[in-house]
Amino acid sequence: MEMNRRFCLWDLPLFNGMERGTFSPVCREAADKKHYKRGDVLFNQGDPAEALYLIKEGRFKLVRGNEEGKEVILQMAGKGEVLGEAALFQVGDHPVTAVAMEDSRVCSLNRQRFESVLRESPDLALRVIFSLGSSLYSTWEQVTELRTGTTRERVLNLLLRLATEHGEPCPEGTMVKVHLTQQDIADFVGVSRVMAARTVKELGDCNYLAKKNKYYILKDRCF
């Protein structure tokens, strides 16, 4: 059991190349594992941010409420990705809500215990800073991309990015192995569900897009 707990967080980028002797005290008695079902909330917007989370299996969408009370999806995170990095730097609240899009398994690292290790390892502290900066830049780049252009361009950009990150080749093109509803697409690109549904239908009519079971397929002509 202790070995499983210690290696739960081994996949974190900031631990790459780290000696086992340095890594072991980081996770000893500070790691926790938990399973989530589709629709379960990992943390809510406004909750105290007290831990870093590593997705071992599954996928989460990061949602933020706007001034009109609507939810906007800012990002999607899957296996191997980290949530809540900012919790390692300061006391604060989560700026978004993380919702499981499918059955998932998550490992977490408590901030207070981690702080004591950071004080003893400047190299580890630098790794965390670089990881956070890279993640923040990537998030804002994605948000900018999905909020510019026509609705059709934004939906295509979303599906192209998801196909690159989560796609699998299939006879018809590339299957996006993410369970996306029309409301999810609308929240990602900042339009109404009706507009998203209309755009998806138009892309299908133009032979850019198809759907098989619960997954969208981008035809080869899109790439």
Each residue's pLDDT, cut to its tens digit, for the chain (223 residues) gives 344 444 567 667 666 666 676 667 676 656 788 999 999 999 998 899 888 899 999 999 999 876 667 778 888 898 888 888 767 667 788 888 999 999 999 988 888 877 777 777 776 666 666 666 665 556 656 656 556 678 888 888 888 888 887 888 888 889 988 878 888 888 888 888 899 899 999 998 888 899 888 889 988 766 5
pLDDT value, residue 58: 93
pLDDT value, residue 222: 64
Domain map of the chain by residue range?
2-145, 151-222
pLDDT value, residue 2: 40
Are the C-beta atoms of residues 200 and 155 closer than 8 Å to each other? Answer: yes
CATH code assigned to 151-222? 1.10.10.10
pLDDT value, residue 193: 87
pTM of the model: 0.59
pLDDT value, residue 129: 65
pLDDT value, residue 120: 72
Long-range CB contacts (within 8 A, 24+) of 124-131: 124/14, 124/18, 124/22, 124/26, 127/13, 127/14, 127/15, 127/16, 128/14, 128/85, 128/88, 128/89, 130/14, 131/13, 131/14, 131/82, 131/85
pLDDT value, residue 141: 60
pLDDT value, residue 19: 65
CATH code assigned to 2-145? 2.60.120.10
